[in-house]
Amino acid sequence: MAGPGQQAEGPGWGAGLARLVTGLCLAAVLGGAVYGLERLKDHVCGLPEYNPPIRLELADPPEWVVREGWGPRILSSVKLPLDQSAAGKTSVQQIYEQLFSSGWVSRIRCVNRRIDGTIRIICDESDYRRPIAMVLIGGVYIPVDKEGVRLPEEYQRVEINSGWMRIFGVESVLPDRGKPFEGDDARAAIRIASLIWDQEFAPRITGIDVRNYQGRRDRREPHVFLLAWVHNRLKRLQWGSAVNEEYEENTAAEKIRNLAVFFRTGAGSPQAASYDFSVYPTGWIERFEPDMSIADGSEARDP
Protein backbone atom coordinates (compact mmCIF):
# COMPACT_ATOMS: atom_id res chain seq x y z
CA MET A 1 0.00 0.00 0.00
CA ALA A 2 1.31 3.40 -0.84
CA GLY A 3 1.88 5.91 1.92
CA PRO A 4 0.72 9.50 2.04
CA GLY A 5 2.00 11.54 -0.99
CA GLN A 6 2.91 8.42 -3.00
CA GLN A 7 1.15 7.31 -6.23
CA ALA A 8 0.36 3.69 -6.69
CA GLU A 9 1.49 1.90 -9.87
CA GLY A 10 -1.51 0.24 -11.46
CA PRO A 11 -2.53 -1.45 -14.71
CA GLY A 12 -3.16 1.93 -16.54
CA TRP A 13 0.54 2.44 -17.33
CA GLY A 14 0.92 -0.96 -18.92
CA ALA A 15 -2.21 -0.51 -21.04
CA GLY A 16 -0.93 2.81 -22.40
CA LEU A 17 2.40 1.27 -23.39
CA ALA A 18 0.60 -1.54 -25.16
CA ARG A 19 -1.51 0.90 -27.15
CA LEU A 20 1.62 2.85 -28.16
CA VAL A 21 3.39 -0.27 -29.36
CA THR A 22 0.29 -1.40 -31.25
CA GLY A 23 -0.02 2.01 -32.93
CA LEU A 24 3.62 2.01 -34.01
CA CYS A 25 3.29 -1.48 -35.44
CA LEU A 26 0.13 -0.50 -37.33
CA ALA A 27 1.80 2.61 -38.77
CA ALA A 28 4.77 0.51 -39.90
CA VAL A 29 2.48 -2.01 -41.60
CA LEU A 30 0.47 0.73 -43.36
CA GLY A 31 3.63 2.52 -44.46
CA GLY A 32 5.04 -0.69 -45.88
CA ALA A 33 1.78 -1.41 -47.68
CA VAL A 34 1.67 2.05 -49.28
CA TYR A 35 5.30 1.78 -50.37
CA GLY A 36 4.64 -1.65 -51.82
CA LEU A 37 1.60 -0.46 -53.73
CA GLU A 38 3.52 2.47 -55.19
CA ARG A 39 6.31 0.12 -56.34
CA LEU A 40 3.70 -2.20 -57.85
CA LYS A 41 2.01 0.74 -59.61
CA ASP A 42 5.32 1.92 -61.09
CA HIS A 43 6.07 -1.61 -62.28
CA VAL A 44 2.66 -2.15 -63.87
CA CYS A 45 2.55 1.28 -65.52
CA GLY A 46 5.99 0.63 -66.94
CA LEU A 47 4.82 -2.43 -68.84
CA PRO A 48 4.30 -1.86 -72.62
CA GLU A 49 0.61 -2.69 -72.51
CA TYR A 50 0.10 -0.03 -69.81
CA ASN A 51 2.22 2.62 -71.52
CA PRO A 52 0.48 3.01 -74.92
CA PRO A 53 1.72 5.53 -77.50
CA ILE A 54 0.21 9.02 -77.29
CA ARG A 55 -2.38 9.86 -79.94
CA LEU A 56 -4.04 13.26 -80.37
CA GLU A 57 -7.68 13.43 -81.39
CA LEU A 58 -10.14 16.22 -82.15
CA ALA A 59 -13.46 15.33 -80.53
CA ASP A 60 -16.36 15.76 -82.99
CA PRO A 61 -14.76 18.44 -85.21
CA PRO A 62 -16.97 20.44 -87.61
CA GLU A 63 -17.87 18.79 -90.90
CA TRP A 64 -15.70 21.22 -92.90
CA VAL A 65 -12.60 20.23 -90.90
CA VAL A 66 -13.05 16.62 -92.01
CA ARG A 67 -14.21 17.35 -95.57
CA GLU A 68 -11.40 19.79 -96.36
CA GLY A 69 -8.71 17.75 -94.61
CA TRP A 70 -7.77 20.34 -91.97
CA GLY A 71 -7.77 17.89 -89.04
CA PRO A 72 -4.17 16.63 -89.41
CA ARG A 73 -2.99 20.21 -90.05
CA ILE A 74 -4.67 21.46 -86.88
CA LEU A 75 -3.18 18.63 -84.80
CA SER A 76 0.28 19.20 -86.32
CA SER A 77 0.42 22.51 -84.43
CA VAL A 78 0.90 20.43 -81.24
CA LYS A 79 4.48 19.18 -80.99
CA LEU A 80 5.02 15.99 -78.97
CA PRO A 81 8.51 14.63 -78.15
CA LEU A 82 9.73 11.90 -80.51
CA ASP A 83 10.53 9.76 -77.45
CA GLN A 84 7.22 8.17 -76.48
CA SER A 85 8.27 7.83 -72.86
CA ALA A 86 8.79 11.59 -72.76
CA ALA A 87 5.61 12.20 -74.78
CA GLY A 88 3.64 10.32 -72.16
CA LYS A 89 4.72 12.88 -69.60
CA THR A 90 3.53 15.80 -71.72
CA SER A 91 0.82 17.51 -69.70
CA VAL A 92 -2.61 18.28 -71.06
CA GLN A 93 -1.91 21.90 -70.13
CA GLN A 94 1.05 21.99 -72.53
CA ILE A 95 -1.11 20.60 -75.32
CA TYR A 96 -3.84 23.12 -74.51
CA GLU A 97 -1.39 26.02 -74.67
CA GLN A 98 0.21 24.90 -77.95
CA LEU A 99 -3.08 24.47 -79.78
CA PHE A 100 -4.58 27.69 -78.45
CA SER A 101 -1.53 29.76 -79.40
CA SER A 102 -1.57 28.31 -82.93
CA GLY A 103 -4.69 30.30 -83.79
CA TRP A 104 -6.68 27.34 -85.09
CA VAL A 105 -9.26 27.72 -82.32
CA SER A 106 -10.62 30.67 -80.40
CA ARG A 107 -11.48 28.60 -77.34
CA ILE A 108 -10.85 25.07 -75.99
CA ARG A 109 -13.45 23.56 -73.70
CA CYS A 110 -11.20 20.82 -72.34
CA VAL A 111 -8.28 18.48 -72.99
CA ASN A 112 -8.36 15.06 -71.38
CA ARG A 113 -6.18 11.96 -71.41
CA ARG A 114 -7.60 8.44 -71.72
CA ILE A 115 -6.06 5.26 -70.36
CA ASP A 116 -5.42 4.02 -73.93
CA GLY A 117 -3.08 6.97 -74.55
CA THR A 118 -5.57 9.07 -76.52
CA ILE A 119 -5.58 12.78 -75.71
CA ARG A 120 -8.92 14.26 -76.77
CA ILE A 121 -9.24 17.95 -77.57
CA ILE A 122 -12.80 19.19 -77.13
CA CYS A 123 -14.00 22.42 -78.73
CA ASP A 124 -17.39 23.70 -79.78
CA GLU A 125 -17.99 23.89 -83.52
CA SER A 126 -17.98 27.69 -83.39
CA ASP A 127 -14.55 27.68 -81.71
CA TYR A 128 -12.72 26.51 -84.84
CA ARG A 129 -11.30 29.17 -87.13
CA ARG A 130 -12.02 28.33 -90.76
CA PRO A 131 -9.68 29.62 -93.48
CA ILE A 132 -11.54 31.72 -96.06
CA ALA A 133 -8.72 33.35 -98.04
CA MET A 134 -4.97 33.30 -98.65
CA VAL A 135 -3.00 36.52 -98.18
CA LEU A 136 0.10 36.83 -100.35
CA ILE A 137 2.73 38.58 -98.26
CA GLY A 138 6.50 38.21 -98.13
CA GLY A 139 6.39 35.77 -101.04
CA VAL A 140 4.17 33.22 -99.26
CA TYR A 141 0.44 32.68 -98.92
CA ILE A 142 -0.98 32.91 -95.40
CA PRO A 143 -4.50 31.58 -94.63
CA VAL A 144 -6.82 33.83 -92.63
CA ASP A 145 -10.28 33.45 -91.12
CA LYS A 146 -13.20 35.89 -91.28
CA GLU A 147 -11.79 37.94 -88.41
CA GLY A 148 -8.45 38.28 -90.19
CA VAL A 149 -6.61 35.98 -87.76
CA ARG A 150 -3.42 34.54 -89.17
CA LEU A 151 -3.49 30.74 -89.20
CA PRO A 152 -0.24 28.75 -88.92
CA GLU A 153 -0.05 27.29 -92.44
CA GLU A 154 2.20 28.80 -95.12
CA TYR A 155 2.14 27.97 -98.83
CA GLN A 156 4.69 28.81 -101.49
CA ARG A 157 2.04 28.63 -104.19
CA VAL A 158 -1.75 28.63 -104.44
CA GLU A 159 -2.98 27.80 -107.93
CA ILE A 160 -5.28 30.21 -109.70
CA ASN A 161 -7.91 27.49 -110.18
CA SER A 162 -7.63 26.13 -106.62
CA GLY A 163 -10.93 27.64 -105.51
CA TRP A 164 -9.25 29.88 -102.92
CA MET A 165 -9.68 33.62 -102.81
CA ARG A 166 -6.15 35.00 -102.90
CA ILE A 167 -5.45 38.50 -101.61
CA PHE A 168 -2.80 40.56 -103.41
CA GLY A 169 -1.16 43.89 -102.69
CA VAL A 170 -1.10 43.83 -98.87
CA GLU A 171 1.70 46.06 -97.58
CA SER A 172 0.92 45.89 -93.86
CA VAL A 173 2.93 43.94 -91.29
CA LEU A 174 2.50 40.18 -91.04
CA PRO A 175 1.16 39.37 -87.54
CA ASP A 176 2.26 36.47 -85.35
CA ARG A 177 0.39 33.19 -85.68
CA GLY A 178 -2.96 33.36 -83.95
CA LYS A 179 -3.07 37.17 -84.13
CA PRO A 180 -5.21 39.29 -86.51
CA PHE A 181 -3.89 41.46 -89.31
CA GLU A 182 -3.91 45.07 -88.15
CA GLY A 183 -3.08 46.91 -91.39
CA ASP A 184 -5.94 48.78 -93.07
CA ASP A 185 -5.30 47.27 -96.53
CA ALA A 186 -5.33 43.69 -95.19
CA ARG A 187 -8.42 44.31 -93.06
CA ALA A 188 -10.24 45.87 -96.04
CA ALA A 189 -9.47 42.89 -98.30
CA ILE A 190 -10.43 40.33 -95.64
CA ARG A 191 -13.69 42.19 -94.98
CA ILE A 192 -14.60 41.86 -98.67
CA ALA A 193 -13.51 38.21 -98.67
CA SER A 194 -15.76 37.49 -95.68
CA LEU A 195 -18.75 39.03 -97.51
CA ILE A 196 -18.07 36.98 -100.63
CA TRP A 197 -17.35 33.75 -98.70
CA ASP A 198 -21.02 33.20 -97.82
CA GLN A 199 -22.20 33.67 -101.41
CA GLU A 200 -22.98 30.97 -103.94
CA PHE A 201 -20.61 32.58 -106.44
CA ALA A 202 -17.63 32.54 -104.03
CA PRO A 203 -15.79 29.73 -105.91
CA ARG A 204 -15.75 31.97 -109.01
CA ILE A 205 -13.69 34.65 -107.24
CA THR A 206 -10.01 33.82 -107.39
CA GLY A 207 -8.43 37.08 -106.26
CA ILE A 208 -8.87 40.36 -104.37
CA ASP A 209 -6.40 43.01 -105.45
CA VAL A 210 -5.74 45.89 -103.01
CA ARG A 211 -2.50 47.18 -104.53
CA ASN A 212 -4.21 50.53 -105.12
CA TYR A 213 -5.98 50.61 -101.74
CA GLN A 214 -7.23 54.17 -101.05
CA GLY A 215 -5.63 55.25 -104.34
CA ARG A 216 -2.10 54.93 -102.94
CA ARG A 217 -0.69 54.15 -106.41
CA ASP A 218 -3.09 56.07 -108.64
CA ARG A 219 -5.96 58.16 -107.27
CA ARG A 220 -7.70 58.02 -110.64
CA GLU A 221 -7.95 54.22 -110.56
CA PRO A 222 -10.36 52.04 -108.51
CA HIS A 223 -9.08 51.06 -105.09
CA VAL A 224 -10.07 47.38 -105.16
CA PHE A 225 -10.43 44.84 -107.98
CA LEU A 226 -11.69 41.26 -107.95
CA LEU A 227 -10.37 38.56 -110.25
CA ALA A 228 -13.03 36.09 -111.34
CA TRP A 229 -13.84 33.33 -113.80
CA VAL A 230 -16.41 34.69 -116.28
CA HIS A 231 -17.35 32.65 -119.34
CA ASN A 232 -14.35 30.39 -118.64
CA ARG A 233 -11.97 33.31 -118.82
CA LEU A 234 -10.23 35.28 -116.07
CA LYS A 235 -11.75 38.75 -115.86
CA ARG A 236 -11.29 41.81 -113.70
CA LEU A 237 -14.30 43.05 -111.71
CA GLN A 238 -14.13 46.58 -110.42
CA TRP A 239 -15.24 46.55 -106.78
CA GLY A 240 -14.39 50.20 -106.06
CA SER A 241 -13.67 51.54 -102.58
CA ALA A 242 -13.31 49.43 -99.46
CA VAL A 243 -16.34 48.67 -97.30
CA ASN A 244 -17.58 51.79 -95.46
CA GLU A 245 -15.22 53.97 -97.52
CA GLU A 246 -17.63 54.41 -100.45
CA TYR A 247 -18.27 57.89 -101.78
CA GLU A 248 -20.93 58.30 -104.48
CA GLU A 249 -20.79 54.62 -105.32
CA ASN A 250 -22.67 51.43 -104.48
CA THR A 251 -22.69 50.04 -100.98
CA ALA A 252 -21.09 46.69 -100.27
CA ALA A 253 -24.53 45.07 -100.03
CA GLU A 254 -25.51 46.43 -103.46
CA LYS A 255 -22.27 45.19 -104.99
CA ILE A 256 -22.77 41.71 -103.54
CA ARG A 257 -26.37 41.63 -104.80
CA ASN A 258 -25.36 42.67 -108.32
CA LEU A 259 -22.51 40.15 -108.37
CA ALA A 260 -24.96 37.41 -107.37
CA VAL A 261 -27.26 38.34 -110.26
CA PHE A 262 -24.31 38.59 -112.63
CA PHE A 263 -23.08 35.07 -111.90
CA ARG A 264 -26.49 33.43 -111.44
CA THR A 265 -27.82 34.62 -114.81
CA GLY A 266 -24.60 34.12 -116.74
CA ALA A 267 -24.75 37.79 -117.71
CA GLY A 268 -21.92 39.87 -119.03
CA SER A 269 -20.55 39.92 -122.54
CA PRO A 270 -17.82 37.32 -123.13
CA GLN A 271 -15.97 39.96 -125.15
CA ALA A 272 -15.77 42.44 -122.28
CA ALA A 273 -12.33 42.86 -120.72
CA SER A 274 -13.68 43.91 -117.32
CA TYR A 275 -16.88 44.75 -115.45
CA ASP A 276 -17.56 47.67 -113.12
CA PHE A 277 -19.83 46.99 -110.12
CA SER A 278 -19.09 50.21 -108.26
CA VAL A 279 -21.54 52.62 -109.97
CA TYR A 280 -25.02 51.35 -110.85
CA PRO A 281 -27.14 50.20 -107.86
CA THR A 282 -28.99 47.70 -110.09
CA GLY A 283 -26.40 46.73 -112.67
CA TRP A 284 -22.82 46.98 -113.92
CA ILE A 285 -20.75 48.53 -116.69
CA GLU A 286 -18.93 46.42 -119.27
CA ARG A 287 -15.58 47.69 -120.47
CA PHE A 288 -14.01 46.46 -123.70
CA GLU A 289 -10.62 48.15 -123.63
CA PRO A 290 -7.63 45.76 -123.80
CA ASP A 291 -6.35 44.58 -120.45
CA MET A 292 -2.90 43.01 -120.68
CA SER A 293 -3.13 41.58 -117.16
CA ILE A 294 -5.98 39.26 -118.21
CA ALA A 295 -5.35 36.12 -120.23
CA ASP A 296 -7.22 32.98 -121.15
CA GLY A 297 -7.96 30.79 -118.12
CA SER A 298 -5.37 28.19 -119.17
CA GLU A 299 -2.70 30.89 -119.34
CA ALA A 300 -3.94 33.17 -116.57
CA ARG A 301 -1.32 34.96 -114.53
CA ASP A 302 -1.46 36.35 -111.02
CA PRO A 303 -1.37 40.13 -110.64
Note the pLDDT of residue 80.
77
Note the pLDDT of residue 44.
43
- Low-confidence stretches of the chain (pLDDT beneath 70): 1-52, 81-90, 290-303
Tell me the C-alpha distance between 296 and 184, whole Å. 32
Note the pLDDT of residue 174.
94
Note the pLDDT of residue 299.
34
User: Domains, the chain, ranges and CATH?
Assistant: 50-127 (3.10.20), 133-299 (no CATH)
HEC sequence for 179-213: CECCCHHHHHHHHHHHHHHCCCCHHHEEEEECCCH
| DSSP sequence for 48-92 | GGGSPPPEEEEES--HHHHHTT-HHHHHTTS---SSHHHHTT--H
Tell me the C-alpha distance between 233 and 244, whole Å. 30
Q: Give pLDDT tens digits for 156-186.
A: 999 998 889 999 999 999 999 999 999 999 9
| The model's pTM | 0.75
Note the pLDDT of residue 52.
66
Note the pLDDT of residue 40.
47
Q: Give pLDDT tens digits for 107-142.
A: 999 998 888 878 899 999 999 999 999 999 999 999
Taking residue 161's Cβ as centre, other Cβ atoms within 10 Å add up to: 11
